[in-house]
Amino acid sequence: MFFQEQQGENDNDERNLKCVTLAALCHDLGHGPYSHLFDRDFIKNRLGMNWKHEKGSITMFEDLLKKNSITMKSINLEDEDKEFIKALIKGDKKYNINKPDKDKRPNYLFDIVNNEKNSIDVDKFDYFARDCYYSGAKRLFDFSRLMRLSRVMNDEIVYYYKECYLVYDLFHTRYSLHKTLYKHCTVRAIDHMICDVLEKADHYYNFKSAINERNPEKYMRLSDYIFHEIEHSEDDKLAKSKEIIKQIRERKFYKFVDECLIKLKNKENTNGDNIAEIKENTKKDNMAEIKIKEDIMDGIIDCGATLNGANLKREDVIIDWLSFDYGKKDENPVKYVKFYNKNDKEPKKIKKNDVSYLLPIVYKEEIVRIYLRTKGNEKEVVSIDFFFNHK
């Protein structure tokens, strides 16, 4: 293990290494069809459920052990390691609470697979490399260098102070991938079509039960293959879903109409430690988003009514409110990262202005996009620019 070489080995190193490795391998087992589209856009936004794929990963991990009659002892681990692995999958440091000191695990281990503190983890390194390779996107972020120049101090992972700009580059790479790849306007049109496919097939598959019942057998069948299963089904209950799939195959995507960048307040200098203030601001932001969406929808329907032959209905319109950030919403994630100097005994944070004056002052942007659920190549496109003038 990389950190073993720096700190010297102890009796639990091999055991902890095995637990972290298993957590890394199982962290994404719970992804449903089309990865985050399923748990973010479909499960959360369409079905209204507060569910993340890590919950599915834990269910699948438990089922994997049960089906294969694997005990912790059989893989040279202890029974309590099972709960530790599940905590690593979630990035949940609460595992250590109320445990005697001899049973506590090093806190830095919880930041390797799923880092809730500053989001620098191997999961991110993995999908950066994978998605850049398969999409042909040219990204220069060097995660191997960042790993080589990291170490553990005071039970947390810290980075060499001269690599602070590289850390900023990591978060900018995440932003760029979301902006140009994951949330590209055409990709999002297809995302919405796939969500409609799943929503219209929900009465057939009952997705909520597959999740709520924690039924691994049922949930395991929810893979990307469901798309092909629906497409070739003879069941009339799936006819509407099949029709949308046919549109996708024929590249008759939902029509992207327009988009507008929403102006946000600069929260760089706000007190990020005031939890009550953050919650109140988040609540206000959510209410403002709902109100703006309602205003946009009303304006589009009113405008559509004046167009010859448009005959727009509310269900024809998709208002896609998208956030792009550095991984910590509107906060600078680097303020949660510490750095070391070879001459210092304690790690420290580095002020942004000590790195570069060209770094961002805002770490989140929001874009509102409008799509129409078209069934072909309709010529009617509603211009909505004027709806955004006051935003």
Name the residues annotated as catalytic. 53
Strand order in the sheet with 317-325: 255-262, 364-372, 317-325
Q: Is 98 helix (H, G, I), strand (E, B) or coil?
A: coil
Dig out the tokens for 368 from the structure.
């509102």
Query: What type of residue sits at position 332?
Result: N
CB 371 within 8 A of CB 255: yes
Q: How far is CA 261 from CA 121, 322, 358, 359, 390, in A?
A: 30, 10, 21, 20, 12
CA pair distance 113, 25, nearest whole angstrom: 9
- Helical packing angle, 53-67 and 13-26, nearest 10°: 110
Helix and strand counts by DSSP (H, E) for the chain: 15, 6
Cα gap 16→228, rounded to integer Å = 41
Report the 10 Å Cβ neighbour count for 91. 20
Contacts of 48 (CB under 8 A, 6+ apart): none
Q: What SS3 class is residue 319?
A: strand
Q: What is the SS3 assignment for 259?
A: strand
List, in sequence order, the alpha helices (H) in 91-206.
122-135, 143-148, 164-177, 185-200, 202-205
Q: Which tokens go with 176? A: 């760029």
